[in-house]
Amino acid sequence: MCAKNKLKRFAENMTFDNMFQYHFEEVKDGFYLKGKWGKNFFKNNQPVVLELGCGKGEYTIGLAQLYPDKNFIGMDIKGARMWRGLKMANEKGLKNVAFIRTRINQVSYYFDMDEVSEIWITFPDPHPREIKTRKRLTSPQFLDRYRKFLKKDGIIHLKTDNIIFFEYTLDVIREEKLDLLFHSYDIYDSSIDNELTQIQTFYEKKWLEHGTKIKYLKFKLHK
């Protein structure tokens, strides 16, 4: 994408009332919706579900359509990609969708204790090099961040094409003595017929065309 189109999308992003983008200095001492997403933004008390690394927002939008009784927030640093999700939410009239543009290591500044019911991590950067394991979104370091706002026994979902990342997460679950609820090395070689197979991202479709197996797991993150 050319720089001109990116700048156009960045500008349009800020016209959507469900888009949140702040500098770290503006949120480090207290984001104004922290602990108040349901009451002050969504205007309800429905569960809040967070998608990390939402990219173009296909999963955030898809989940919001499937589960209108929940609120969904997508988070990513790529504003030009997020534009697509913002456009879709606006075109479809979805009131249970919001997006936050920020680095995911700042996620705990946006949510308060017990505010989020579930986390979806969909096709994140696997950071395959061993020296970068701390940057993986299921590393113990990131799990500690999630504990600050995820409800007791809150569920984390991981959907990925990367076998290294997938098996690394299984190892973390075992080492942290967490409850592994379900896992599959190939969700399309099974009888699964729900949001796992009904919602596909742009890149997921490409990986499937090349025969890549899509893996999934979910587990409980204890306090």
Sign of the Cα torsion 142, 134, 125, 19 reads positive
Cβ–Cβ under 8 Å, residues 221 and 168: no
- State the burial class of residue 10 (Cβ atoms within 10 Å of its Cβ: 0-12, 13-18, 19+): middle
Q: Which residues of 91-107 are buried (b: 16+ CB within 10 A; e: fewer)?
A: eeebebbbbbbbebebb
Active-site entry in 112, 114, 125, 179:
125
Q: Is 189 among the residues known to form the active site?
A: no
Distance of alpha carbon 29 from alpha carbon 44, whole angstroms: 25
Distance of alpha carbon 35 from alpha carbon 206, whole angstroms: 38
> 3-state class of 45 per DSSP?
coil
- State the burial class of residue 73 (Cβ atoms within 10 Å of its Cβ: 0-12, 13-18, 19+): buried
User: Which residues does the annotation mark as catalytic?
Assistant: 125
